[in-house]
Every structure is written in C-alpha cells, then in structure tokens.
Amino acid sequence: IGVGSDADTYARVMAATSYLEVGASAPMLDPALAEEALSLLPGEERGALSLRCRVTPTGEVADADVELVVIQSDAKLSYAAVEAWLDGDAGPVLREVTVPGDGPEVEDTLIALREAAERLGVARDERDTIEELFTQAEVEPAILDGKIRTRSAEPHAQAYRLIERLMVAANEAVAAWLVEH
C-alpha cells in the first residue's frame, strides 16, 4: 500500500480494525484488500513477513528473526471458535479447519500460542500501558432480533487478549529487528 494512496488514506481514517459481534467487522484496511488479497485465506498461498522468535518463561521475546516467506494457512479461525477452545471445547476450532486431518496440528499450534501469550502477559502486566487508563464495560446495548438488549461488552475476551498479546509482541520484535538491521 503506497503512502498517500486511497488505501493508505482509508487505513489512516479507520486507525484500527473493529471486530463486531453483530454485523460485519470494520477492517482498518479497505475490505477489498483485507478480506481477499491481504488475507491469509485457508488453502491459498500468500506472501508474508514471518517473525520467528522464542518467548522466554519470563515473557521476553528473544532470538527474533524476520524473513519473507510464502505460506498456506490450514484454517481461518473465528474469535468465537478460539474462545470456545480456550474454555475447553475444541469442536468449533476443529470444524473450522479446512485441511482434512490437520485438526491436531492446529490444536498443537494453539497450545503453543496460548503458552506464549500467557508468558507475554506476565511481562506486559509489569509495564505501564495505556490500557490502564480505561475501564471495561461489562455490558453494552445492541440490537438483537430487532430489539434493544444488553450483551457482553467483550464476547470473546480471552481470544482477543491472546491475539492482542501476540500481535503487540510481534510488532515490537519486528520494530527492534528493523532498528538493528
């Protein structure tokens, strides 16, 4: 995406992707890009920037290496499926795996990612973050089945937190790698 391009302007206005429980999500990038060309769709080869690193038991990122790769995803997991998996129900995750027989491999990956996120949480909880400036709402209004009702403000809180911790660590590690190189 070129600096100053229409796609760049769109991303700057949106600033972040919003994942909504009701209705479509609002991606930071133009949906034509975010949902197709730049999305890691299952079974599709995609060029990607890969970060390989180790997360220490104390939550530090070590041995970071960045490389250009071509990958093919086995699944496009929803937050709801990951939330269920974190609560002990693997069924929704296994139903979202698109390559027959790859369910155990996807679960092994989730186990490793959960452990890495837990370790990262230890280190992050020791730092001051902007998150501390906000209080989380427990419920918020929503229109469900044509009626205004309340629902959980964070329907997939554990899954969001897992992805957030991994993405923040990846962004910090890539930034440090860029500075070093």
The single residue listed with the structure tokens 């044509």 is: 146
Overall average pLDDT of the 136-143 stretch: 58
Per the structure block, which two tokens stand in for 127?
């730092």
CA 65 – CA 120 distance, rounded (Å): 18
Whole-number Å distance between alpha carbons of 175 and 53: 13
Q: How far is CA 126 from the centre of its chain?
A: 22
- And the tokens for 60? 């530090």
Q: Kindly give the interhelix angle for 79-86 and 157-180, rounded to the nearest 10 degrees.
A: 110
Instruction: Kindly report, residue by residue over 75-84, the tens digit of the pLDDT.
Output: 888 888 999 9
Band the pLDDT of 135: cuts 50, 70, 90: low
Share of the chain above pLDDT 70, in %: 81
Chain-centre distance for alpha carbon 51: 14
Q: Which residue has the higher pLDDT, 85 or 147?
A: 85
pLDDT value, residue 17: 76
- Residues whose CB falls within 8 Å of the CB of residue 72, separated by 6 or more in sequence, listed in order: 43, 44, 45, 46
pLDDT above 60 for 134 = no
Q: How many angstroms from the chain centroid is the CA of residue 151?
A: 22
Q: What is the mean pLDDT of the chain?
A: 83
Which phi and psi angles does 9 have, rounded to 5°? -60, -45
- Share in percent of the chain as helix, strand, coil (round to 5): 45, 25, 35
Query: Which amino acid would we find at residue 92?
Result: P
Res 108: pLDDT:
94
Residues 91-114: what's their mean pLDDT? 90
DSSP state of 158: H
> What is the model's pLDDT at position 129?
58
Is residue 133 scored above 60 in pLDDT?
no
Residue 153 predicted with pLDDT over 60? no
Q: Where are the alpha helices (DSSP H) in the chain?
A: 6-14, 31-32, 79-86, 91-96, 103-125, 157-180
CA 178 vs. chain centroid, Å, equals 22
pLDDT tens per residue, range 6-63: 888 888 888 877 766 556 667 788 888 888 888 888 889 999 989 999 999 999 999 9
| pTM of the predicted protein model | 0.71
User: pLDDT at residue 126 above 90?
Assistant: no
Flag whether pLDDT at 125 surpasses 70: no
